[in-house]
Structure 1
Amino acid sequence: MEPENDCAWKPKQGMTFDSEQCVYDFYNIYGGRMGFSIRRDFCRKNKVTNQLICRLLVCNKERFRKGDKRDPLSKNPRAETRTGCEARLYVKLDEGTGKYVVADFKEKHDHDLFGDVVTFDTTYKLNKEHRPFASFVGFNHHRETVIFGAALLYNETAESFVWLFQNFLEAMSGKAPKTLFTDQDAAMAKAILIVMPDTTHRLCTWHLMQNALKHVNYLFQDKGVKGVLNKFFFDIEDTNQWKLEWAKMLDKYDAHENHWLKLTFAVKEKWGWPYVRSTWAAGMSTIQLSESFNALLKDYIRSDFNLNEFFMHFEMVLYEKRYKELEA
């Protein structure tokens, strides 16, 4: 079903279904496309035939969780994940036709819709020509690594990345990531803005720290790079306070003319804590998933493989990942 065809994939009053399971499957697919999970709620059955008369399906953030029955002094209490969301789909049995009819549909959610967070990396050169290997990696619902896509590139120009991102979106049925993590590459940034303008582009904090060690470590010898920059990555929540502290840092270390700091400040919306703290990131701040995936590939792929050998062994990696997901 094409996303442009609202009648096909979006619920509306009056839609009919052959069974309650068909209703559930339809709403579940819709939720997956939109970025939320569903669960079964209220239902009523015929007391004589035990046939389902009506069913209410809700967003998994509907209501609020009851109090935690475990020791209130637990060091790791379960986080509250419900928000009282009122999004729902309610169906009733039409006894004349035997079909279930949508009687009520509330579309609006009171929370952000939980899309994919993807890390994108091209730093690992696996083939003898040292061509960039690009991977799109994220978490699955078991918080294990899932590979969304991969490619061998000829070069790392903006034009190549535009081509790659366009083909990635086509493979993903047009669904762009909610958030995309990359390193501090200008060509990548340009292509993301062109192809995925609604995707939140965030910079990997680990790569930023490594670049800082190369470019400004000599400035911060008293506290070190982490001692000076950590608060800008993880601590200061107010944008005005963040800018004030940045200015103080430039004054203290006489770093107003440092080229790397100028460039990094210019993209602060992609890494500064008050700018990114409210974006959906699945708990990530780095492209560590991609790094771990690249390390795994070393066990399967040698640099002297030709293209056929490369992709044959890459398929083995995918098979192992998918098997582990099925096990989980």
Structure 2
Amino acid sequence: MGLNIDLNFDNCEEDITPNVDENMMGGEEHVDKGDCGIKDSANDLGMGLTSKDDQNLEPYNGMEFDSHEEAYSFYLKYAKFLGFAVSRKASRRSKISDKLIDAKFSCTRYGTKRESNAINPRPCLKIDCQATLHVKRRQDCGKWFVQNFIKEHNHELFPNEAHYFPCHRKITSIDKHNIDTLHAVRVGTSKIFAAMAKQRGGYQNVGFLQKDIRNHLDKERRLALESGDAKAMLEHFMLMQEENPNFFYAIDLDEEQRLKNVFWVDAKGRENYKNFGDVVSFDTTYITNKYKMPFAPFIGVNNHFQSTLLGCALLADETTSTFVWLMQTWTRAMGGRAPTAILTDQDKAMKAAITMVFPNARHRFCLWHILSKIPEKLGNVLKKHENFMGVLNKCIYNSWTEEDFEKRWWNMVEIFELEGNEWVESLFEDRKQWVPTYMRDTFFAGMSTTQRSESINSFFDKYVNRKTTLKEFVEQYKVALLDRQEEEAHADFNTWHKKPAVKSPSPFEKQMSIVYTHEVFKKFQIEVLGACGCYPQKEKEDGMIITLKVQDFEKKEEFKVVWDATKEEVCCLCRCFEYNGFLCRHAMAVLQSLGFFHIPSHYILKRWTKDAKPRHTIRHISIGVQSTEQRFNDLLGMATKLIEEGSLSHESFNIANHALEEALKQCTIANHSLKGLKKPTCGPCDFHDVGKENVDSNMLCDITVLDPKVSKTKGAPKRMKRGIEQGNKKKYNNKPRNVSLEL
């Protein structure tokens, strides 16, 4: 008997191994091809589930449906609630009537992994999960019933991240209408996505991803902005703190009650700082608003090697006093904990402030900013000597010890006649704050430049322009922040749901493939593969300490590695672990030669692992009492579903219309009964540090805050080209004290 197997992969993340149940094969029927496509109604399900829904959500043998599509929709809803993806495994048609009589749906992790000879094989999800729903059509009445239901899965489920699975994503007709309407007035895809997430109470409730919007529109547009002022910005801050008490902001006013500096950080940023606040990049070269106030973000690196915002500010100037105010305020917002390392531009005012506020932090200058000044400072040398940059780069990047660097530096100064050059002399004086050799003993998460701050600045280009007002800026910042959080949540999902492809038989690679996040593992994987080109040789042995020379054939260099058997410590000249947080190829080559086949636990930094932060945490910290905005969003979501159903027929319209009229009447009565009750009053203008009870959100209601003066920046209106602050023009201790408000 010939069978045509129908397998539809539209909703699968990868190919499925054909596997038709023998119970589906028989007699006069044949398996059909191509008739299991998803109908438009299949995903039109409720985005949330009530407790009553939950009780009746699980399929059972004998359960009946009007059609196989209804059965698929039910199983899809069940899968979304539990947190797994579904694919259509197979179906059959009757040879006599040509009608579908049999269908089987399964978890997408059904089947076994295929062998692949590809150089870079794709990650495979197949782990032989048997969870399936098998439905058949009754001959007498045409109803469909559950022939067999296998509930158990052999893998972890993801109920909080189910919206990332392709089968649970669909843009409805109303969504398409809203997207097209917003796009017609030049709203970008990120703003559209964020607006829908806000409307429905979170990205997980939208029903699709931002890339699905891009696919629908196939183009992007910039945002249309409105106006605002300093007072409106503060009111916006108060509203944000009302929604979430962990939101923190502070303002700095001058003697005229005019806004000078403002700082804010949301609850997510404060939470991230607990896990990823060891290394921070700080940059003020971005100017975006009409007052030309530098935007100064504090940037960290999360466990996916993504940039994460740990707070930001708009500043009136770039003096030491301003930086001191900002860094002290930021430290209070973060519970008094200072970073262990901080990366900034080379600026004397900033350096002085960091010395005062973070005396124990390792301060590093951005290497790119220093090297970018060479054409200006040493232009004549570049014209005269074509090999100058080659010699300088070798001095900077190939000096593995301080002695090597200093020897090469002075040889370079002599060869190119740079004696007496003030800029060159200043670089040597500050060498411990920019030369990699002096930094390799400190963890910098692999950063040597403020490129992450620059990337955040570029990211904000999509949301603001030079005419953007203060209120607009903080509002767009909130939207941008939600986008970043969604990227982080998606990376979390991919890390836990998918396993990276292993490219070698190395036990180290296999071990860390299930420990590190995907992005960190990719960087570690480069070192694992590089270890194949390393040859260790014992140089000397002193008791329990062994010194080895490792020939790196790829880099064409020799590295010294020291092994201390008593402490099980390995130290390489390149200092990869100390600087990047994972072992280098040279250390792994030595470990393997000594009979070690697992990375010691003290060389696995938690901040790079999947467990760097708690699993399945709620994205937005819940509040004891729902805000007006939350209530509005919840009702709007339910009303949208009512509109969709109520508009389909005259009967459903009458039902919906009657229900709305009755509900409106009852709400009006309830609200009238609340009138005359206690109203909020302005609280005293008290100031509280972080960790104490929050101040009344209306504490600034009696303060008239004036717009800031236009800042006199040191460079172009967008990217600021900062010079070095003049010696003693503005002494911090002699500066008049300004008003500072914190919440």
* DSSP 3-state at the match of 1:219: helix
Tell me which residue corresponds to 1:290: 453
Aligned partners of 2:341 and 2:364 also within 8 Å: yes
% identical equivalent positions: 37
Are residue 232 (structure 1) and residue 395 (structure 2) matched?
yes
Tell me which residue corresponds to 2:598: none
1:115 CA drift (Å): 5.7
* DSSP 3-state at the match of 1:180: strand
Question: What are the equivalent positions in structure 2 for 1:205-220 lying under 5 Å apart?
Answer: 205-220=367-382
- 202, 221, 226: which one aligns with 2:364: 202
> In structure 2, how many angstroms separate the alpha carbons of the residues matched to 1:162 and 1:125?
20
Aligned AA (1:147): L
Aligned partners of 2:277 and 2:300 also within 8 Å: no
Are residue 244 (structure 1) and residue 407 (structure 2) matched?
yes
Question: What are the equivalent positions in structure 2 for 1:65-80 lying under 5 Å apart?
Answer: none
Are residue 126 (structure 1) and residue 288 (structure 2) matched?
yes
Aligned AA (1:183): D
Question: What are the equivalent positions in structure 2 for 1:51-90 lying under 5 Å apart?
Answer: none
Aligned partners of 1:209 and 1:226 also within 8 Å: no
> In structure 2, how many angstroms separate the alpha carbons of the residues matched to 1:297 and 1:114?
22
In the TM superposition, what whole-angstrom CA distance separates every residue of 1:77-110 from its partner, at most 9, and x where no partner exists? xxxxxxxxxxxxxxxxxxxxxxxxxxxxxxxxxx
> In structure 2, how many angstroms separate the alpha carbons of the residues matched to 1:158 and 1:224?
39
Question: TM-score, normalization: structure 1?
Answer: 0.63
> In structure 2, how many angstroms separate the alpha carbons of the residues matched to 1:293 and 1:174?
25
In the TM superposition, what whole-angstrom CA distance separates every residue of 1:195-242 from its partner, at most 9, and x where no partner exists? 001111111111111012210132134235532321233210221221
**Cα–Cα, structure 1 residues 311 and 225, in superposed 2: closer, same or farther, change >3 Å?**
farther
> CA-atom RMSD, angstroms?
2.0
Aligned AA (1:152): L
Tell me which residue corresponds to 2:135: none
> In structure 2, how many angstroms separate the alpha carbons of the residues matched to 1:273 and 1:229?
13
Are residue 306 (structure 1) and residue 469 (structure 2) matched?
yes
Tell me which residue corresponds to 1:37: none
> In structure 1, how many angstroms separate the alpha carbons of the residues matched to 2:276 and 2:474?
32
- 192, 204, 223: which one aligns with 2:386: 223
Are residue 172 (structure 1) and residue 334 (structure 2) matched?
yes
Question: TM-score, normalization: structure 2?
Answer: 0.28
Tell me which residue corresponds to 1:256: 419
Aligned AA (1:157): T
Tell me which residue corresponds to 1:181: 343
Moved more, 239-248 or 192-201: 239-248
1:248 CA drift (Å): 1.1
1:114 CA drift (Å): 8.6
* DSSP 3-state at the match of 2:372: helix
> In structure 1, how many angstroms separate the alpha carbons of the residues matched to 2:461 and 2:366?
22
Aligned partners of 2:463 and 2:476 also within 8 Å: yes
Aligned partners of 2:324 and 2:357 also within 8 Å: yes
Tell me which residue corresponds to 1:137: 299
> In structure 1, how many angstroms separate the alpha carbons of the residues matched to 2:314 and 2:375?
30
Aligned partners of 2:431 and 2:438 also within 8 Å: yes
Tell me which residue corresponds to 2:353: 191
Are residue 317 (structure 1) and residue 480 (structure 2) matched?
yes
**Cα–Cα, structure 1 residues 131 and 228, in superposed 2: closer, same or farther, change >3 Å?**
farther
1:305 CA drift (Å): 1.8
Are residue 326 (structure 1) and residue 522 (structure 2) matched?
no
Aligned partners of 2:281 and 2:344 also within 8 Å: yes
> In structure 2, how many angstroms separate the alpha carbons of the residues matched to 1:202 and 1:213?
22
Aligned AA (2:340): K
* DSSP 3-state at the match of 2:336: coil
Aligned AA (1:120): F
* DSSP 3-state at the match of 1:146: strand
> In structure 1, how many angstroms separate the alpha carbons of the residues matched to 2:368 and 2:451?
8
**Cα–Cα, structure 1 residues 228 and 150, in superposed 2: closer, same or farther, change >3 Å?**
same
Tell me which residue corresponds to 2:93: none
* DSSP 3-state at the match of 2:382: coil
- 291, 299, 313: which one aligns with 1:151: 313
* DSSP 3-state at the match of 1:176: coil
- 418, 443, 448: which one aligns with 1:280: 443
> In structure 1, how many angstroms separate the alpha carbons of the residues matched to 2:277 and 2:443?
8
- 279, 297, 312: which one aligns with 1:117: 279
Aligned partners of 2:343 and 2:450 also within 8 Å: yes
1:279 CA drift (Å): 1.1
* DSSP 3-state at the match of 1:231: helix
Aligned partners of 1:233 and 1:271 also within 8 Å: no
Aligned partners of 2:284 and 2:296 also within 8 Å: yes
Aligned AA (2:441): S
In the TM superposition, what whole-angstrom CA distance separates every residue of 1:145-187 from its partner, at most 9, and x where no partner exists? 1001110000000110001110111111112122111111111
Aligned partners of 2:339 and 2:361 also within 8 Å: yes
Aligned AA (1:163): W
Unaligned runs of 5+ residues in structure 2 are 1-118, 121-274, 492-743
Tell me which residue corresponds to 1:48: none
Aligned partners of 2:324 and 2:354 also within 8 Å: yes
In the TM superposition, what whole-angstrom CA distance separates every residue of 1:253-280 from its partner, at most 9, and x where no partner exists? 1111111111111100011232111111
> In structure 2, how many angstroms separate the alpha carbons of the residues matched to 1:294 and 1:195?
25
- Count of residue correspondences: 218
Unaligned runs of 5+ residues in structure 1 are 1-73, 76-112
* DSSP 3-state at the match of 1:257: coil
* DSSP 3-state at the match of 1:137: strand
**Poorly superposed stretches of 4+, deviation over 3 Å:** 223-226
The structure whose Rg is larger is 2
Aligned partners of 1:205 and 1:233 also within 8 Å: no
In the TM superposition, what whole-angstrom CA distance separates every residue of 1:35-70 from its partner, at most 9, and x where no partner exists? xxxxxxxxxxxxxxxxxxxxxxxxxxxxxxxxxxxx
